[in-house]
Structure 1
Amino acid sequence: MDDLVLSLLLSSVAPDIGGVLVRGEKGTAKSTAVRALANLLPPVDVISGCRFGCDPHAPDPDCPDQPHGHEHHPRPARLVELPVGATEDRLLGSLDLDRALSAGVRAYEPGLLAGAHRGILYVDEVNLLHDHLVDVLLDAAAMGRVHIERESISITHAARFVLVGTMNPEEGELRPQLLDRFGLTVEVRASRDPDVRAEVVRRRLAFDADPEAFIKEWQEAERELAARIVSAREHLATVELSDGVLRQIAAVCAAFDVDGMRADLVVARTARAHAAWSGRSKVTSEDVRVAAMFALPHRRRRDPFDAPGMDENLLDEALRNNTPEDPEPPETDPDGGPEGGPGGQDPNNSQQSETGDDRQDTGSHQDSATGPAEQPGTQSQQHPDQQPQGRQAEGQQAEGQQPTGKNPTQNPQQNAESRTPAATQDAVAATNPFKVRSFKVPGLGKGASGRRSRALTESGRTIATLPLTSERSSGRVHLPATLTAAASQQHARGRLPGGPVVLRRDDIRLGVREGREGNLILFCVDASGSMAAKQRMAAVKGAVLSLLLDAYQRRDRVGLITFRGQEAELALPPTGAVEAARMRLDRLPTGGRTPLSAGLRKSWTVIGNEKLRDPHRRPLLVLVTDGRHTAGEDPTPIAAEFARRGIRSVVVDCERGIVRLGMAGKLAAGLGGELITLDDLRAESLAGMVRDQVNQQTERRIA
C-alpha cells in the first residue's frame, strides 16, 4: 500500500508521468485510495463560463466555448469517474437533446473527457472496459485532445488528464496499447500482518460510527499532505537531471528490453518527481531505482499471460553498471540528515521539518501521510513476481489438503473410480499456457456483454436504425435519425421559426447496436487410458488451461466435463471462476476406457440446463480427445444431434505419432464442427499459416 500511495502522489506532483494502473486482489482499498486523492489535489484556475475548464493563462484556441471572457476563478481539481458500462456518447459528448427539441438547434453537450481536462480520469475495473471505449481513451491519451465528428457536429477540444485505473488481474488483462498508456503500475496485496489488518478494521469501524469526527481527526494530516504536493510541484522545475543520470536511465531501459521510448521518458519524469517529493535538488540513482520499479514492470511483458514484475537484482546490477561518472553524495539538511529522509524535509521549508520531527507525537497519523517518502520504494523489497507465486503456493496447499477433507465434489469421481477396474495414473502438471486462436460462435447473438462473438447489445457501434412499432416498442432512441425523420414535416406541422421541434410517435427511431457477447464455453476432456502418457496429458492440460484463460478474459462462462472408465463427470458446473476449473484440471487423473458417448450426453444435458437459465447465452463445445471410443453406445447419433441443433463445436485432436487413425476428424465431421490439432491451437501457428499463404500468393504473382 505504501507503493500505491507513493505512485499516486508522484502522479499528482508531475501529471505528465501518465497516470497509474493499480493491479491487485479484491478488497484491498484500491478504489478508496484513488478517490481519496481528489481531496489532496490543489485547485485549478479556470475561465468563468467555460464548460471545458480552460486555463485563463493558456486558453485552448480551439475551445468550443470561444470567445472567452476575462473573468476566472479557482475550482477544486476534478476526479471524473468513467463507469465500465458508460456509452460512447457519455464519454465523448453528444448532441444537446434539450436544446435540439426545444429550440431546434444543434448544440454540443460535453462528455466525461471534457470534465476530466486538467484533472483525473478514474476507471474502476479498467480491464472490463468495452473495446470501443478503450479506443477513444487511447486517442485522447495520445493526443491530449478529443476530435468529434458525428451527428452533424464537428468539434475538437483539449483533454489532458491523469489516467488512473484499478483492476483485478483475475478478471482478465488489459489490451497492450492501453497498458502502455499508463505511466506507472503498482501491484497491491492486502497485508498479512495481523496488527495492520486490525488497524484497518479499527479505522473503518470508527468512520462508520462517526464520519464527521473521523474526518476531523485526520483533517490536519490531510492538509499537510496537500501542502507538500504543492511544495513539490513548485520545486519540480528546479530539480536537476544530469546527463550522467539520464544515460543511466536509458541504459536501464535498454537492459530490460522495453519497447519504444515511452519508458525512458516516464522513468525520467518519475525520477524528477520523486526527487522533488523527497526535497532533493538533484536526481539520484535511488530516484531512478524507485521510478524504474514503477514504470518498467508492465512494459517488459512479452506475453499476455506473463505476470508483471521486476527482478530487483537485475535492476540493481544495471544501475551499478551504469552509475553516473561523477556521483555526488546526497545533500544534507541543517540537522545533518539526508534530504528525503524521515518526512522528506526540504531545507527551505521549516514547516515540513517540523512535521517530520513531530512524527513520533502524531503516531500513525503521520505514518500514513509521510510513509512513502520515509522509505522510497520500500515495497520493492518484496519481489513483485513472488506475490503471485505466494498466492499460487497457498492455492496448491489448499488443493493438497482438500482430498483428505469432506469435499462433496470428489465423491462422484471416487465412486466412478471404484466401479472402474482399470488402473488410474497419478495426475500430471500442465505445460505452460499460451495464447490460443480465437474461436467464435457464428451469427449475431443477443447474449450478455463480453468479448467473443458478435451480438446485438446495448453498447457498441450503431449499425442501423429502425422505426418504433408495436413489436419493437423498447430500446435506445437514436436522436439524429429521429430528428432527421421529423425535419421534413416541420412546416406541415406548423412549427414556428425558432420554436421547438414538433415530434410524432412515427418519427422515433431506435438504434441497433452491435458489440460482443460472452458465450458458454463447455470443455469436454478425454481422461481415459489412451490419454495417459504423461507427455501427452501435460500438453492436453496446458492446451485446456490456455483455452480456459482465453475464455475467462473474454467474459465467458466456463464448464468442465471429463470422461473416463464407464461414465462422464461434470467436474465444474458453468461458472465465471476459471481458477476453480484450473484446480480441477490439475487434479485430473487418467486411466480406464473411453466412454466418448457419455461425455457427449453429459455435454448435451449441461447445455440444455444452461439454455433454460439463460436463453440468450450461446454455447461453444470444446471437445479435447483423440476420437477413440471403447465404452458405451455409439456416439455417432449423439454427434449428429449436436450438428442438427446448430451447436458450435471445436474438436481438439490429441492424437500424436507417425501412425494416426484420424478418428477425431470423423468426430468433428459428425458434429459439424471444426477440427484442430494441439500444435495448431496456438495463435502464432495461425499467424504462421497466414504468412505462408501470403508468401505463396506473392510468389505466384511474381512468377
Structure 2
Amino acid sequence: MPQQYPLCAVVGSDDMTLALLLTTISPEVGGVLVRGEKGTAKSTTVRALATVLPPIEVVAGDRFSSAPGETSPDGAWGSDAETETRPVRLVELPVGATEDRVLGSLHLSKVLADGVAEYEPGLLARAHRGILYVDEVNLLHDHLVDLLLDAAAMGRSTVERDGVSVAHAARFVLVGTMNPEEGELRPQLLDRFGLTVEIAAPRDPQLRAEVVRRRLAFDADPDAFVESYADAERALTDRIAAARKLLPEVELTDAVLTKVAEVCAAFKVDGMRADIVTTRTAIAHAAWNGRTHVTRADIRQAALLALPHRRRRNPFDAPGLDEELLDQILGDEEPDPEPPLPPEPDPEGHDDGSSEQPESMTPDQPDESDTDDSGRHENPRSEPSDSMTSDEPTDVESPGDSRPSGAGQTSVIGAADPYKVKRFEVHGTGAGESGKRSRALTSNGRRIGADPTGNGGLHLIETIRAAAPHQQARGRQGGRILFQDGDLRTARREGREANLVLFCVDASGSMAAKKRMEQVKTAILSLLLDAYQRRDKVGLVTFRADGAEIALPPTHSVDIAAKRLADLPAGGRTPLAEGLLTAAEVLRVERVRDPRRRPLLIVITDGRATHGADAVARSRQAAAWIAEQHTSSVVVDCEQGPMRMGLAGQLAARMQATHLPLAEVSAQALTSMARAA
C-alpha cells in the first residue's frame, strides 16, 4: 500500500487543518467545505487526516461499522458483542457515482445466480463513523446531492428500491473540496457544511520553497519521509484523543451563548443553524486547547469558520467576514467562565447598559468584505458610479456611418436586481449530464421503458419478463428462474439535463444608453442566475468596436460570469458578424470537448450591423451558418422606441431562433401578458 503524505508535513494550510481537526473532535459540527484554487494540497490534506485519527471499535463481522449496543441490518448488537479495532475509514465519493453505488441496492450476482434477494451496502454505509470525502463537490449531480442532504440531516440512510427496504445508520464527517472557478455549490448543501475554509497557495517565497522541498523529499523516499514525521503524527493523534475525552467537560455558560447569539445576529445569518454550529465549534476549539471553559478566542475562531458561507444572500455574493466588525462585537472582555447569577432588580429602574448593542452591530452596518481595495463593491448588482449618469448612448451609429472604427467613448453601466426569467430549452431529447433545463434520458427521473443495455438501474420486472419465455428450453423443472446475460434489462428514464448556455452580447454604441444597458445587464444577470439554478455551464462572448472577444470561456462558475458582466464596457461600432462567428467557434470547440452537453445560444442585440462595408451581408451569412448547425438559439431583441427597424427579428428568422423582446425575458412579464390577453 503506498505511503500517505503526513498531515504534519503540510505547509500553509493551518486554517484548513484546524477546521478538519475540530469537526473530527466534535462530528456534530457538521463537516468542512474547503474552497480554493487548484494545486493547494486540498486533497492531500484531507487524505492525510484519516491517518492521524484514533482507531475505532466496531462489531466484528458487521458490514455497517456498528458500535457495540447499536442495531444494524446485520443484527441488534449488545454491549457484549465481539468487537475489533480498526482505523477510521476515508470513503471517497466520486462525482460520477450512481445512486446504486451510493445507497446500495440488490446484490445482482446473488439475485441472478442464487435467487436470493440480498442487500449490498453502498458508500454511505461504508462511511458510517468515518469520513465521507467528495472532491469537486460542486460538480456533484443533483440527485446525489439530495441523498447527501437526507443522510446529513437524519444521520440515517433509507433505501426503498428494487424490492429492497433497508435503513441503517450513516453518521459521518462530510468533507468537500472545490475550486470556485468551476461553479458554486447548491445553497441547500452549502448550509449543511458546518465549517468552510478559503485556501490559497502561500505568496511567501520561503514557504513556497519549503513546500517544494518537502514534496521532493517525499517522492524520493516516502518511507523515510513518513518516518521522520512519525513522532509528530503520534503526538497529534494523542492530542485528538485527549480533546475528545475533554469535550463533555467543557462548560457552556449563558455568557458564551449570548455572545455567540450577538455575533450571529450582527452578521444577519439566516436561521439558527449558524448559532448551533458556532457554539459547537467554540466548545471543540476549547477542548482542542485543553480548556474546560470557552474564551473569546474560541468564539472568534468558531465565527471565522462557521459564518462566512452563511452570509450569502444569492449566488453572486462574495463569501467572507469582516474581522474588524467581529472584534468590535466580541469586545475585550472574556465571557464569564462561571454561570452568571440571576440579576437583582434595580429599585430605581436603571439599566446598567450591559444589554446595549455596540454601534458596529446595528443592522445597517455595511460589510467591508464586499468591496475591493478601491472601496468599490464587487457585487454585479451594485449601482452605477457617478460617471455613468448619461441616459444617451456614447456612440449611436447607423449602417451608413463612416466614422473610424471604435470611435466614441465607452462606458460601464451596472445592473439592477435579477428577476425570474422564462425557461429556455434545447429542442429534442438529449442524453447529457443531469440538470434542470432540457428533456433528456438520464440516470434518474421517471421510468419510461427498459433497454437490454444501458446505464440505468436494474429493471427487475422486465428482466424476469425477458427470461420467462425461455425457461422450458433452459430445462427449468421448478424452483428458481434460470437467467442468462441476455435477459438483463436496465431502466430507461427521462429527466432533465444541464446545457451549455452561451451568451453573445452586443456591447456597441447603440446599446450604450444607460437605461438600455442596465436592462440588458439585468436580463443577463437574471439568465445567469437561472443557469446557476439549473446547473448549466455558461460562457460569454461580447462584440463591439472592430471585433468580438471571448470574455469568459465556458465554465461552471456563474460567479465569474457575473463579475465579467459587471465590468463589461459599451461603445463603438457593431461587428455583429464577428460576434456570431466567434460564438459559433466556441460552440464548435465545446462540441468536441464535451459532446454530450447540448448548447443553447442566447444572442442579445438590437440587430444592427455597422462594422465594415459589407457588415449586413456578412451578418446574414453568419446567421445562416449557425442555422445550418441546428443550434438551439434565442435572439433577445433590445430595440426600443416607437420607430423600430425589426432587425433583430430578421436575424432570428435567419438563425431559425426564437425571437423574444427584452421586456418579455421576465417570467412575470410573460404572465402579465397572458392574463391581459
Q: TM-score, normalised by structure 1?
A: 0.75
Give the deviation of 1:444 after TM superposition. 1.3
Report if aligned partners of 2:106, 2:162 keep a CA contact under 8 Å in 1: yes
> What is the match of residue 556 of structure 1?
537
Deviates further, 627-636 or 177-186: 627-636
Residues 156 and 496 (structure 1), Cα distance of their counterparts in 2 relative to 1, 3 Å cut: farther
Matched with 2:358 is none
**For the residues of structure 2 that align with 1:218 and 1:479, how far apart are their CA atoms?**
52
Q: Of 166, 183, 186, which aligns to 1:172?
A: 183
Per the TM alignment, residue 441 of structure 1 is displaced from its structure 2 partner at its CA by: 1.5
Q: Which residue of the partner structure matches residue 23 of structure 2?
A: 11
Match of 2:475 among 476, 483, 494: 494
Which residue number in structure 2 is paired with residue 306 of structure 1?
A: 317
Per-residue deviation at 1:307?
A: 1.3
Alignment of 1:286-297 (within 5 A): 286-297=297-308
Contact 1:253 1:264 in 2 (8 A): yes
For residue 670 of structure 1, report the CA deviation from its aligned partner: 6.1
Per the alignment, residue 412 of structure 1 pairs with none
**Cα distance in 2, alignment partners of residues 680 and 178 from structure 1:** 33
Note closer, same or farther for the CA distance 1:425–1:11 as it changes in structure 2 (3 Å cut): same
1:221-260 map, 5 Å = 221-260=232-271
| Aligned counterparts of 2:673 and 2:116: Cα–Cα separation in 1 | 54
Q: 1:507 aligns with which of 487, 501, 504?
A: 487
- Which residue of 1 is the match for residue 353 of structure 2? none
Percent sequence identity is: 55
Match of 1:453 among 438, 442, 446: 438
Question: Are 1:524 and 2:504 an aligned pair?
Answer: yes
Q: Is residue 2:616 matched to residue 1:633? A: yes
1:31 aligns with 2:43: yes
Q: Secondary structure at the match of 1:163?
A: strand
Asked if structure 2 preserves the Cα contact closer than 8 Å seen for 1:596 and 1:628, the reply is: yes
Query: What does residue 76 of structure 1 align with?
Result: 87
Q: Give yes or no for the alignment of 1:59 onto 2:70.
A: yes
Matched, 1:270 2:250: no
Which of 57, 63, 67 does residue 45 from structure 1 map onto? Answer: 57
Whether 2:454 is the aligned partner of 1:463: answer no
- Match of 2:73, SS state, is coil
Shift of 1:449: 6.0
CA distance in 2, matches of 1:265, 1:310: 18
| Deviations, residues 81-117 of structure 1 (Å, cap 9, x unaligned) | 1010100000000100121122101100000000111
- CA 1:448 to 1:275, structure 2 compared with 1: closer, same or farther past 3 Å? closer
What's the CA shift string for 1:279-320, capped at 9, x where partnerless? 111112221111111111111110111111111122222223
Q: CA 1:155/1:388 → structure 2, altered by over 3 Å: closer, same or farther?
A: farther
Distance 1:596 1:4 in 2: 48
CA RMSD of aligned residues (A): 4.0
How many equivalent pairs are there? 604
CA distance in 2, matches of 1:483, 1:384: 62
CA distance in 2, matches of 1:418, 1:588: 25
- Is 1:189 aligned to 2:212, yes or no? no
Residue matched to 2:230: 219
Match runs of 1:411-490 below 5 Å: 420-421=404-405, 423-426=407-410, 428=412, 431=415, 434=418, 437=421, 438-447=423-432, 452-457=437-442, 459-461=443-445, 463-468=447-452, 478=458, 480-481=460-461, 483-485=463-465, 488=468
**CA 1:314/1:655 → structure 2, altered by over 3 Å: closer, same or farther?**
farther
The superposition leaves residues 12-36 of structure 1 with CA deviations (integer Å, 9 ceiling, x where unpaired) of: 1111111111111111111111111
Q: Tell me, yes or no, if the aligned pair for 1:522 and 1:559 is still in contact at 8 Å.
A: yes
Q: CA deviation at 1:508?
A: 2.5
Q: 1:73 to 1:448 in 2, by over 3 A?
A: closer
CA gap 1:285/1:64 in 2 versus in 1, 3 angstroms: same
Say if 1:47 and 1:54, in contact at 8 Å, map to a contact too. Answer: yes
- CA 638–11 in structure 1, closer or farther in 2 if over 3 Å, else same: closer
Q: Which amino acid aligns with 1:135?
A: D
Structure with greater proportional helix content: 1
Cα distance change on mapping 1:43 and 1:125 into 2, 3 Å: same
Q: Distance in 1 between matches of 2:334 and 2:418?
A: 38
* Contact kept in structure 1, 2:507 and 2:542, CA below 8 Å: no
CA contact (8 A) 1:522 1:574 kept: no
Using the TM superposition, give the Cα deviation of residue 420 of structure 1 relative to its aligned residue in structure 2, in angstroms: 4.0
SS of equivalent residue, structure 1 residue 633: helix
**What's the secondary structure of 1:204's corresponding residue?**
helix
Q: Which runs of 5+ in 1 are unaligned?
A: 330-382, 394-416, 698-703
Contact 2:411 2:512 in 1 (8 A): no
1:137 pairs with one of 138, 148, 173: 148
- Distance of 2:599 and 2:539 partners within structure 1: 10
